[in-house]
């Protein structure tokens, strides 16, 4: 296994809790993140060729140069974006102090869960490896080689068997979830087993008495609340009984209690759900997309709003203690968001989505 | 973020010095006023001047180490900033200058 996170362990260029050097460097790197005008230029480009030309004027140039010998299509751009993301994460982990490395690795662990889920869903619906690979974020402990190994499997059980053979930490959760899935036929069982694993794993790694850990614990709680809210939305849509839905409740959050979760599951429509969520911090984010939900009554609208809310929270960490772990996390999330946006623009250019719709799809610009 | 252990040590040193040096200086001043200028006054002044200079130099060194480390980080990513980093790096020298002035005033 060659995890991004573990690669640079042997370069202790700063003290275990020295944030002066890494945070100053990250602030410098942050100034090179693409601004709204740069995205506007990318959206306004006439096609893939112009998009690549525009990207060659940015930090992505060196990664694009490496892949452009294979072609000038969306697949090559996607490959370059992934290379860039891995390179930047390796670079950041190369100069972070030990505490920041631990905390960032814990928060990036969610991408391992995301990647495994994406591969499993892809295999479940019979998607091709190239299509699945384009949506992966290889920035957690599972590197691109590990993900390629999982992707090479032919079906869901093959992926789970490979994870077990490699003794991945997520393997026991995957096996439990898969057993349940075989009994119920509901794939959510596998996904929730992974979420439960992540909540427990991250919670135990962040259980230290220190202001940096305390700040990130709150974010983990927010993440668990978001997962519970999405589960409640799905349970309400599928008219699940309260007893059945409570099986899916994840403990560890601080905004969604079991009783509130019950209220959400029992809500009969979107209005009831939003009313029940009024006391939560992400209520405004959900109400902001209520009109969009009225036009397109899909839970994905709310899921996307909650994901944006969480990204916003992570990026806002840049205005916390300038000698704390918020700066590295804000930068890493800002970079991931930037790559996601460029991926959206690339897809839009590939399939010819109108400019206005592409603009709407972008996150946090 | 300030290391709590370091903060406790600095606080302890400050309390220790306040408890021992301030009364010593007060006594020295009293003795001088009474015209009893003995060797203790001279020693007290010398110790106080040394501490004023030494502690301010230590504080400036600590500040410069932090600024230098952050400056190196900033320069690694933004090579166009060296002038600003040098200006920031030089600012804590004022602390040493103030310590120097205090030392002169104590001996004056």
Total-model pTM:
0.84
Sign for the CA dihedral angle at A65, A69, A72, A73 comes to: negative
Tell me whether B77 touches chain A (CB under 8 Å).
Answer: yes
* pLDDT higher than 70, residue B20: no
Tell me: the pLDDT tens digits for B54-70? 999 999 999 999 999 99
Tell me whether B1 touches chain A (CB under 8 Å).
Answer: yes
Q: Are A145 and A2 in contact (CB under 8 A)?
A: yes
Contact A18 B76 (CB under 8 A): no
Q: Are A334 and A59 in contact (CB under 8 A)?
A: no
Q: ipTM value, please give it.
A: 0.72
Tell me: the pLDDT tens digits for A172-210? 999 999 999 999 888 989 999 999 999 999 999 999 888
Tell me whether A213 touches chain B (CB under 8 Å).
Answer: no
Tell me: the pLDDT tens digits for A24-73? 999 999 999 999 999 999 999 888 999 999 999 999 999 999 998 888 88
**Beta carbon pairs, A and B, within 8 Å:** 44
Question: Which chain A residues are closer than 8 Å to B73 by Cβ?
Answer: 20-26, 28, 95
Which pairs count as long-range contacts for A181-188, CB under 8 Å and 24+ apart, including other chains? A187/A120, A187/A121, A187/A124, A188/A231, A188/A234, A188/A248
Under the banding of pLDDT at 50, 70 and 90, the label for residue A92 is very high
Tell me whether B70 touches chain A (CB under 8 Å).
Answer: yes
* Six token digits for residue A325: 């772990």
* pLDDT higher than 90, residue A342: yes
Contact B1 A20 (CB under 8 A): no
Contact A22 B76 (CB under 8 A): no
Q: Give pLDDT, residue B29.
A: 65
CA distance A265 to A70: 50
CA distance A147 to A126: 17
CA distance A330 to A33: 12
Q: Are A282 and A309 in contact (CB under 8 A)?
A: yes
Tell me: the pLDDT tens digits for A110-156? 999 999 999 999 999 999 888 898 888 999 999 889 999 999 999 99
Tell me whether B7 touches chain A (CB under 8 Å).
Answer: no
Cα distance from B17 to chain A (closest Cα, Å)? 28
């Amino acid at each position: 296994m060659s995890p991004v996170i573990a690669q640079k362990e042997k370069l202790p260029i700063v003290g275990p809790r020295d944030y002066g050097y890494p945070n100053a460097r990250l602030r410098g790197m942050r100034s090179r993140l693409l601004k709204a005008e740069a995205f506007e230029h990318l959206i306004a480009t006439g096609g893939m060729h112009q998009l690549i030309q525009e990207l060659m004027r940015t930090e992505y140039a060196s990664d694009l140069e490496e892949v452009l010998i294979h072609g000038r299509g969306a697949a090559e751009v996607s490959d370059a974006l992934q290379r860039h993301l891995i390179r930047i994460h390796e670079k950041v982990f190369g100069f972070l102090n030990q505490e920041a490395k631990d905390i960032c690795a814990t928060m990036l662990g969610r991408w391992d869960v995301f990647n495994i889920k994406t591969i499993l869903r892809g295999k479940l619906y019979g998607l091709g490896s190239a299509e699945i690979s384009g949506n992966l974020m290889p920035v957690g402990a599972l590197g691109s080689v590990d993900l390629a190994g999982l992707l090479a499997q032919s079906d869901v059980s093959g992926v789970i068997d490979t994870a077990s053979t490699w003794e991945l930490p997520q393997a026991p959760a995957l096996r439990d979830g898969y057993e349940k899935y075989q009994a119920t036929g509901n794939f959510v069982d596998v996904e929730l087993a992974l979420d439960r694993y992540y909540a427990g794993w991250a919670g135990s790694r962040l259980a230290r008495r220190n202001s940096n850990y305390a700040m990130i614990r709150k974010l983990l709680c927010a993440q668990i609340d978001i997962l519970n809210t999405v589960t409640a939305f799905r349970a309400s849509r599928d008219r699940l009984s309260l007893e059945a839905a409570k099986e899916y409740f994840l403990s560890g959050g601080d905004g969604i209690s079991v009783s509130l979760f019950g209220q959400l599951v029992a809500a009969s429509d979107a209005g009831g759900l939003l009313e029940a969520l009024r006391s939560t911090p992400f209520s405004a984010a959900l109400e902001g997309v209520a009109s969009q939900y009225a036009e397109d009554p899909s839970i994905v609208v709310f899921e996307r709003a909650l994901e944006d809310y969480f990204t916003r929270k992570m990026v806002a960490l840049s205005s916390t203690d300038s000698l704390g772990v918020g700066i590295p996390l804000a930068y890493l999330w800002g970079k991931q968001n930037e790559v996601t946006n460029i991926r959206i623009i690339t897809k839009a250019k590939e399939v010819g989505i109108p400019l206005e719709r592409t603009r709407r799809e972008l996150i946090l610009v | 973020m300030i290391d709590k252990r370091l903060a406790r040590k600095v606080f302890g040193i400050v309390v220790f010095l306040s408890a021992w040096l301030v009364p010593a200086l007060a006594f020295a001043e009293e003795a001088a006023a009474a015209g009893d200028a003995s060797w203790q006054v001279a020693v007290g002044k010398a110790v106080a001047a040394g501490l004023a200079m030494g502690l301010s130099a230590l504080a400036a060194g600590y500040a410069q180490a932090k600024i230098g480390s952050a400056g190196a980080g900033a320069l690694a990513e933004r090579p166009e900033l060296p002038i600003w980093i040098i200006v920031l790096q030089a600012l804590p020298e004022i602390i040493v200058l103030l310590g120097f002035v205090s030392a002169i005033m104590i001996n004056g």
